[in-house]
A and B are shown apart, each in its own frame.
Chain A
Amino acid sequence: AQKITQTQPGMFVQEKEAVTLDCTYDTSDQSYGLFWYKQPSSGEMIFLIYQGSYDEQNATEGRYSLNFQKARKSANLVISASQLGDSAMYFCAMREGPDNYGQNFVFGPGTRLSVLP
């Protein structure tokens, strides 16, 4: 079974609008971490935001926020005020177990976001 599901292969958003990228996950661990990475065409994976399973507040980093719904096992990324430079692949990833185990990330298949001028 897929551990990370991203049901939107591609998304379009108008510049300056907000967009939500969906992510659901599957784990039986109580301690885990959820991540979002951005991969532009250059290939580098750029860390955006992190949510720990025990964090009660939704994570925010500038224009990025993570809508964490633990009971639904979802960790959606919200990008506010989209910019043309946000056009890229976006990957949701999960680390199972506590941080001191290292980070064997499991990545989802990704969502390609295109920001329209």
Chain B
Amino acid sequence: DTGVSQDPRHKITKRGQNVTFRCDPISEHNRLYWYRQTLGQGPEFLTYFQNEAQLEKSRLLSDRFSAERPKGSFSTLEIQRTEQGDSAMYLCASNRQGVTEAFFGQGTRLTVV
């Protein structure tokens, strides 16, 4: 299968711990996006990469959040000192410049206890 892959699918962590999520986009896609979705809401944009360059960051992305895409392929999203409010589904999407729609992964569900 060549869809967007996210790992892990579920993560339970204690408040104050650091967590890291991984996203593998569709192989020929040079654009990669991270979104956060809380229960009953639509996804909210976090950040966007074109190749390895992080071109846009939402103000939702506090200094506890960092995202990287070191070689323009997979990306990681790290949350430091997790808080209960970080509990959400973290969605990754990718597409190719010039292609209209973005393809989403199945998400990583984070629960902070």
Contact = CB atoms under 8 A, between A and B. Distances in A.
Do chains A and B stick together as partners?
yes
Interface of A: 4, 33, 35, 37, 42-47, 50, 52, 91, 93, 99-100, 102-110
Nearest to A49: B101
Per DSSP, chain B at the interface is strand
B21 to A, nearest CB: 14
A103 B102 contact: yes
B62 interface: no
Given A43-B89, A45-B104, A108-B42, 18 more contacts: A37-B104, A42-B106, A44-B104, A44-B105, A45-B91, A47-B102, A52-B100, A93-B42, A100-B97, A100-B98, A102-B31, A103-B31, A104-B33, A104-B45, A105-B33, A105-B43, A109-B41, A109-B42
B74 interface: no
B: interface residue count bin: 20 to 34
A99 B31 CA distance: 12
Nearest to A91: B42
Give the top 4 A-B pairs by smallest Cβ distance, nearest first.
A107-B42, A45-B104, A47-B101, A44-B106
Nearest to B104: A45
B102 A43 contact: no
